[in-house]
Structure 1
Amino acid sequence: MSRWRIGGFGKGARLRPAFLRPELLPFLIAVALAGHWFGAPAMILLSLTVMSVAWMTSPARAASGQGAAPGSRPHRPEAEAVLDQFLQDGGRNGLRTACLVVGPDDANALLLRLGHDDFEALIRRIGARLHGTLRDADRVVRIDRAHFAILLSPTPHPDIENMIQLAVRLQASCEVALPVAGQSLAVSIHLGICLSERAPARNGTAMLMAAEDAALEAEAHGPGAIRMFSATPPPEAQRREELAAEIPAAIDTGQILACFQPQISMDTGVVSGLEVMPHWKHPRHGLLGPAEILAALPPGDLVWKLTDGILRQALESLRTWERDGFGTGLLSVVFPPAVLTHPKLTDRLQWALEGFDLEPARLCLVLQGDAVSHPDEGMVLRNLTRCAEIGCVIELSGLGGGPIPVEMMRRAAVRRLRLPRSLVSRIDRETEQQKIVAAFAAMADGLRMETLAEGVASQSESAMLAQLGCRHLQGDAIAAPMPFAETRDWIERHNAKLNATPRIPTRRGG
């Protein structure tokens, strides 16, 4: 970006490139003709008019901090160029600058909830709120779909304490309810901060990327988090890097094992299913669950390789349970979006099921909510439709986090709805959540679907979910995930306890 677009370099610097803009060429021709036909006075008067038009419409004014529309469209190169200039100016004057990257928490859920147009309106309003909190000389530039870069003009004291105070003010400005689509919407925002003296290199590109890394770290730590960039990676990042380097060998050598968490029918009390989850007994970090494994997994074919290995372990376990006469119900498998878009997904599932002599109806594919908004949504829907056609059960998770994908539910023949922990938590005390869960249970009954509540953590939550009509429960209140070798003993103990308990008929079960 040339210097005149950033501003602050004088009228001549702005007007020289302004006159070279194609839309002003007809005016220049008119000036020449006026001089030829009407003499010098007319030429001078028209020249002044052209200069005014060039000044008022020059790109410098449109790009200045005062006239910018922070949420209009992403423009990352502009942010990098402004930072370059701020770094140069600060170096000459002994001043320092800082870059903050700001974005709403859980932007994907907001997009699903609001839709594209209202989400864009929300982002523009956030940009306006951020802009109104800053000094006139500071800049706000939208750098992607949901994030802004805040570029602070050079100042003597952009230290950590001042940056934290500024971050808190920025968060407070966005916590005030924003009017979107006829409703007031309060959002929380996360922030990543990079001070110029801590940047990995003294240029705008490196400084912006460092602030983005800090913002990613903040987003991973929960709503409203603030993180400062440091050249030394935080312990969490170092741990992820170590795990990412070790995962390929762990998959190849069978260190990552399938564990199973029971699901209980609230109508009969029997085990109605088991969800398979990858667990890794790491020699230094202890037992790692699915979230940590998937977070450290590098992109590419390893996602399918891990899923395929866990699925085969689970199918072998299911065959063993059936041979030994254990009724375990459905085998639920959560497939990441990268697996759901694999063009050979259905064929590979059929080969695996045939190899273990199992019926497709024993396998339940859990569709996560973020797969609905996947860029390759058409392939996801095609694969789910084909899996439903061969007899697999399709389950939709993530209810309450965004719009319900009705078309996907219809075409993929969804047979079960999963209620997330966010709806289950405190269900025994929160009346609003009780109403929501009751509504979902009634909707599922009307559509001849079943419901599964995951993350049930207490007996009081379990009792309330049963009263509200939830058909199946899963969570640590029932049993934690366990390796295959422990499932037989647990099922036997559960069945013995069930047989010793007097059965009370329900409206659904015998």
Structure 2
Amino acid sequence: MPPKILLLEDRPTDAELVKVELIWGGITADLQRVDSQEAYEAALETFSPDIILSDFNVPGFSGLAALEIRNQKAPGTPFIFVTGSLGEELAVSTLRSGATDFVLKDRMARLPAAVTAAMESFARRGERDRMNLELLSERNLMQAVLDAAQAMIIVLDDSGHIMHINAAAERITHLPRATLVGMKFWDAMSQSEQVDTIRHEIHAALDLRHETPQRSWPMITPTERKIICSSSALAHDHRGERLVVCGIDITEQERAEQHAFFLGHFDPVTNLPNRMHFVQQLGEYCKQRAADATTVLVVMMIGVERVQDIGDSYGDAAINQVLTEVVQRLRVWQSHADLLARVADNSFALAFEVGRGPDLDMLAPHILEQLREQVSVGDSQWVLPVVHAGISLYPDNASEAGPLLKAAESALHCAPTDTDQIYAFYSPLLSDQIRERLLLESELREALKTDDQLILHYQPQVDIATGRTVGLEALVRWRHPRLDWLSPARFIPQAEACGLMVPLGRWVMRSACRQLSLWKAQGLSAPTVSVNLSAGQFSGPSLIDDVDTTLREFSVEPSLLELELTESASMRDPELSISIMEQLRGMGIKIAIDDFGTGYSNLSYLKRFPVDRLKLDQAFVRDIMTDADDLAISRAIVAMALQLRLEVVAEGVETREQLRMLANAGCRTVQGYLYSRPVAAEHCLPFMQTPFPIY
């Protein structure tokens, strides 16, 4: 006959979970669920359960109250708490109050074993009830053991010697039963520095055993296990048993809680406090800090830039080396253990006190200069960290920790990275700039949904020898309804920062193909149009489908579309880049490497890249007449490209002297203001039909 189980549980889903766990454990039971005191008391009388399972917290009716009713109306019926959490002292208290066991809901797998043990305990107790009074002392002993079957159980005599132990005690101490029996409890079970304390607890329990004191205490065993102990006196002790010590091992629970606290408050990579913990500790520090007009509390947020470029060139291990070295250099300046934190992937926050005036003005650049010193990332390989910082002051900029850190963050976003002044102090004006950035981001999202704001302009790529336009580079412009015309320099960085480069790149490619289709419909023979790809768009999963769909939608020949990828983006994952390029080339699309010479090149990969052209960056062309190094680099890139059978397009050509120098170097195609600025599509017709003058 299946056992009858009464379940006190207000949540049907948890009740179903109990039923499933019992079935999985091989227990088929007649289970009745109740969720109120009235139904519970009625079930005790009419249902007569073999075992009771109870949640600890039932609305309007606690598990402890249910246990007390069991003690009055159905004493001896096994009672197991099945609950979400149970504190250390409360767990001991429930066992002492008559609970058979407790099972945490996040460890439901042990429920069948607990129910089986409780049922077996109940059956054996029934057998013992039929025993004669001569077995009373043995029955008391076994009752105490079975009531705490999952806990450590140790029986002591009136001198504190161990007389009996259970298997849990052996597991906890890593000592066999034969060794433990006869030892003083405090010598066997506690660390040396706790011996006197535990001896006092045991003697106090023995002296008060007839009053059954409600006492519990923590204990650390020689095996580094944390145990919460309580004592229970024996009513009959003719064999010398005087005291039962019950212990619950909470070591793993405490470790889990500590780990959860660490994950919630610290960065697992650097072991530094995270943003939340930093704000908490900064708030406490501000409250405790004595007012002093001569000093100021500085909150500095430091950003480490171009981290991905380091990873692309030297591997992810180099990123960790650079960030670890930055942390070590910052530790010199922290004035409190929790006032240095990693608040984002590549951002750190530091707080310290310093004198007002010249001290502060000198200290900020000094700290940053130390951070910018070279870092070793391998054998004879060094990198220079690129850092900048935002600074806020307490109480000048804010009186609370959260706003104080946000002020430093606002200043960080406005601090330049490519000048000598690589830090910024917070001012209310910076908040206005941040709001403007957020507004611009929102407006850009809307612009991508309309057809009248974003516009493509085209700059011709000219054959030096013939003056013919052999290509057009598509460049996006924004006709902003509030700010008028915006150049890419104004909104492209914003698009990169807020994750809009992929949809923006998709819009540019579609618009360029639409224009090619219009020119074809007008009977014009358009040259190849170049479209820039962002790193995210190039490596994204939808690129091939996007390109194929766009070409089909506008009936554009693939050979009329050239996709430009920056050198740095192509080197993030060279093998993946080669695979994507080969797929695009297989479709008939041309590939160009843009801004060549400014990234981290690996020539062994470059020769494997299936590309058609290299674009010589205008940074080298600009000073080609006055800077011997730029001239040498330009000549070397052109010569290398020719050897690899690649075309070269020199960008930024503005003077005839630059043109002649590039022509002498072997460059055949250029683009720049010497021929034309980027212009709207309708203004491209003249140079599409008529060659430029030959200079």
Q: TM-score, normalised by structure 1?
A: 0.71
Q: 1:145 to 1:406 in 2, by over 3 A?
A: farther
Q: Distance in 1 between matches of 2:586 and 2:609?
A: 8
Kept after mapping to 1: 8 A contact 2:592/2:615: yes
1:149 aligns with 2:356: no
Q: 1:198 to 1:276 in 2, by over 3 A?
A: farther
Show the counterpart of 2:95.
none
Cα offset, 1:159, TM superposition: 5.4
Moved more, 239-248 or 221-230: 221-230
Cα offset, 1:259, TM superposition: 0.5
Gaps of 5+ in 1: 1-27, 55-70, 502-510
Show the counterpart of 2:369.
172
Cα shift readout 1:41-68 (whole Å, capped 9, x = no counterpart) = x946999xx9xxx9xxxxxxxxxxxxxx
What are the equivalent positions in structure 2 for 1:214-229 lying under 5 Å apart? Answer: 214-219=411-416, 224-229=421-426
Q: Distance in 2 between matches of 1:269 and 1:496?
A: 5
Show the counterpart of 2:277.
81
Q: Distance in 1 between matches of 2:638 and 2:299?
A: 47
The amino acid across from 1:441 in the alignment is: V
1:122 aligns with 2:122: no
Kept after mapping to 2: 8 A contact 1:343/1:383: no
Q: Distance in 1 between matches of 2:327 and 2:368?
A: 12
Q: Residue 271 of structure 1 is aligned with which of 469, 491, 494? A: 469
SS of alignment partner, residue 428 of structure 1: coil
1:111 aligns with 2:111: no
Gaps of 5+ in 2: 1-171, 175-179, 197-219, 225-266
Q: 1:264 to 1:213 in 2, by over 3 A?
A: same
The amino acid across from 1:291 in the alignment is: A
Cα offset, 1:368, TM superposition: 2.6
Kept after mapping to 1: 8 A contact 2:571/2:577: no
Cα offset, 1:220, TM superposition: 6.5
Cα offset, 1:365, TM superposition: 0.5
Q: 1:171 to 1:468 in 2, by over 3 A?
A: farther
Q: Residue 371 of structure 1 is aligned with which of 566, 569, 587? A: 569
Q: Distance in 2 between matches of 1:37 and 1:75?
A: 37
The amino acid across from 1:479 in the alignment is: S
Kept after mapping to 2: 8 A contact 1:241/1:296: no
SS of alignment partner, residue 102 of structure 1: strand
Cα offset, 1:280, TM superposition: 1.6
1:98 aligns with 2:98: no
SS of alignment partner, residue 497 of structure 1: coil
Q: Distance in 1 between matches of 2:583 and 2:467?
A: 32
Show the counterpart of 2:629.
432
Show the counterpart of 1:286.
484
Show the counterpart of 2:644.
447
1:250 aligns with 2:450: no
Moved more, 473-482 or 211-220: 211-220
Cα shift readout 1:328-386 (whole Å, capped 9, x = no counterpart) = 532100122343345443334234334444321111101134534669x8876654432
Q: Distance in 2 between matches of 1:299 and 1:177?
A: 27
SS of alignment partner, residue 367 of structure 1: strand
Q: Distance in 2 between matches of 1:286 and 1:221?
A: 28
Cα offset, 1:174, TM superposition: 3.6
1:260 aligns with 2:424: no
Cα offset, 1:168, TM superposition: 0.9
Show the counterpart of 2:401.
203
What are the equivalent positions in structure 2 for 1:253-402 lying under 5 Å apart? Answer: 253-297=451-495, 303=501, 305-321=503-519, 329-369=527-567, 371-372=569-570, 383-402=580-599
SS of alignment partner, residue 300 of structure 2: strand
Q: Distance in 2 between matches of 1:425 and 1:372?
A: 24
Q: Distance in 1 between matches of 2:336 and 2:501?
A: 48
RMSD, aligned CA: 4.5
SS of alignment partner, residue 415 of structure 2: helix
Cα shift readout 1:419-465 (whole Å, capped 9, x = no counterpart) = 33333342332323333333322332222112223234444444433
Q: TM-score, normalised by structure 2?
A: 0.54
The amino acid across from 1:480 in the alignment is: R
SS of alignment partner, residue 461 of structure 2: strand
Q: Distance in 2 between matches of 1:139 and 1:234?
A: 24
Q: Distance in 2 between matches of 1:427 and 1:235?
A: 41
Kept after mapping to 2: 8 A contact 1:266/1:472: yes
Kept after mapping to 2: 8 A contact 1:112/1:402: no
Show the counterpart of 1:6.
none
Greater per-residue helix proportion: 1
Show the counterpart of 1:488.
685
Q: 1:223 to 1:168 in 2, by over 3 A?
A: closer
Q: 1:175 to 1:378 in 2, by over 3 A?
A: closer
The amino acid across from 1:436 in the alignment is: I
Q: 1:426 to 1:471 in 2, by over 3 A?
A: same
Show the counterpart of 1:20.
none
1:465 aligns with 2:634: no
Q: Distance in 2 between matches of 1:86 and 1:249?
A: 39
Q: Residue 392 of structure 2 is aligned with which of 194, 202, 208? A: 194
Show the counterpart of 1:18.
none
Cα shift readout 1:116-141 (whole Å, capped 9, x = no counterpart) = 33343333334334444666879544
The amino acid across from 2:484 in the alignment is: G
Kept after mapping to 2: 8 A contact 1:76/1:144: no
1:423 aligns with 2:623: no
Kept after mapping to 2: 8 A contact 1:99/1:208: yes
Kept after mapping to 1: 8 A contact 2:571/2:600: no
Q: Distance in 2 between matches of 1:461 and 1:224?
A: 33
Instruction: Give the paired residue count.
Output: 450
SS of alignment partner, residue 397 of structure 1: strand
SS of alignment partner, residue 292 of structure 1: helix
Moved more, 409-418 or 164-173: 409-418
